[in-house]
A and B are shown apart, each in its own frame.
Chain A
Amino acid sequence: GQNIDQPTEMTATEGAIVQINCTYQTSGFNGLFWYQQHAGEAPTFLSYNVLDGLEEKGRFSSFLSRSKGYSYLLLKELQMKDSASYLCASTSGTYKYIFGTGTRLKVLA
């Protein structure tokens, strides 16, 4: 079957580090995407992992383990503007994307 799981909600303090986990079961897996979505807005692309390992992009990093069906998004030096939902999506083939329900992150001062 096709399934993605991620926590519903997380809370962290400004300046801290937070890790948002995502597990997936996708036939024909072709990569893992992370998006940020502020309330009432469209998702914006953050990262794409197709090979195992860590991809670093500024304050954001994403990790993938294909053998474990597991990914995480790491946010460092949290800022208030990072308060948003973070969506994990796996790909199956060229045009098929399976989205998780999103993790709502609250950053507290």
Chain B
Amino acid sequence: DGGITQSPKYLFRKEGQNVTLSCEQNLNHDAMYWYRQDPGQGLRLIYYSQIVNDFQKGDIAEGYSVSREKKESFPLTVTSAQKNPTAFYLCASSIPDRGLKFFGPGTRLTVL
């Protein structure tokens, strides 16, 4: 079955450490996205990629970095520059003009 995988489901890191969240899809979608969700808030866009080797900043890109070297993979690095990294991180993918219908299971990051 096609879908999106994110690993790990729960991640704990010490303050000041960089951490990379994995996102892999086998849906053959060109577009991939990273969202952040905090309690009581909607999803906020961190980065998105329309195609391999191309990505764009979203509304809250500061303190994050991404790469898109393969169509299937869109890893997100949370750097020490991100002031409040503890959150639920969601990866998604889509076929352009078909809408955002597929999300990964999410990674809950806690920075201690």
Contacts and interface: CB of A to CB of B under 8 A. Distances in A.
- Whether both chains belong to one complex is answered with yes
Interface of A: 4, 31, 33, 40-45, 48, 87, 89, 91, 94-102
B103 A99 contact: no
A95 to B, nearest CB: 5
**Chain A interface main SS type:** strand
Contacts of A43: 43, 90, 103
Kindly list the 10 A-B residue pairs having the minimum CB-CB distance in the complex, ordered from nearest: A99-B42, A45-B101, A42-B103, A99-B43, A101-B42, A42-B106, A94-B96, A48-B99, A42-B105, A100-B42
Given A41-B105, A95-B48, A33 B42 contact: no
A87 B43 contact: yes
B41 A101 contact: yes
Contacts, number: 52
Contact of A33 (B100, B104, B105): B100
A102 B48 CA distance: 22
B90 A42 contact: yes
Interface residues of B, number: 24
B42 A31 contact: no
B99 A31 contact: yes
A4 B99 contact: no
Given A48-B99, A89-B100, A4 B105 contact: no
Contacts of A98: 42
Contact of A95 (B40, B50, B101, B104): B50
17 contacts: A40-B108, A42-B104, A42-B105, A43-B43, A43-B90, A48-B101, A87-B42, A87-B43, A89-B43, A89-B100, A91-B100, A94-B31, A97-B43, A99-B35, A100-B42, A101-B40, A102-B42
B1 interface: no
